Amino acid sequence: MGFDLNRHWVDPSPWAHPTLHGVKQLIIQMYNNPKVTLEFYIDIHAHSTMMNGFMYGNIFEDEERFHRQVIFPKLLCQNAEDFSFSSTSFNRDAVKAGTGRRFLGGLLDDTSYCYTLEVSFYSYIVGGTTSTVPYSEETCIL
């Protein structure tokens, strides 16, 4: 229907955004169930202009919570040659307020981590070089 579903997390319509509405309700049910621990929410997107993989994360007033949130992207950078920590950013821009990462980061408690993982449509730059590696079926299998 032409909606950017990642901008309607605050109030998704059951009619216009049925999948988003259903996922949001499921996450809230899981969060309210004391037998379930929801540790990560990762929204995965392809990026049309930037290279490599990178993340968006939230900024929190609680400095310890913020520093804990940085650990996962740092681990990705250490273990995936196509992930760029330098392209990763943490923000609370108003324009991103309707995203899953921002909405759930405000809803869930401080033991849950919410990210958006972006990966280039095209290729990645091997760290410390200017050499690019195109994403292809072959490079994904390796």
- Catalytic (active-site) positions: 118
| H/E element, 56 | strand 53-58
| H/E element, 75 | helix 63-79
Distance between CA atoms of residues 48 and 53, nearest Å: 12
- What radius of gyration do the chain's Cα atoms show? 16
**β-pair partners for 97:** none
Distance between CA atoms of residues 6 and 8, nearest Å: 6
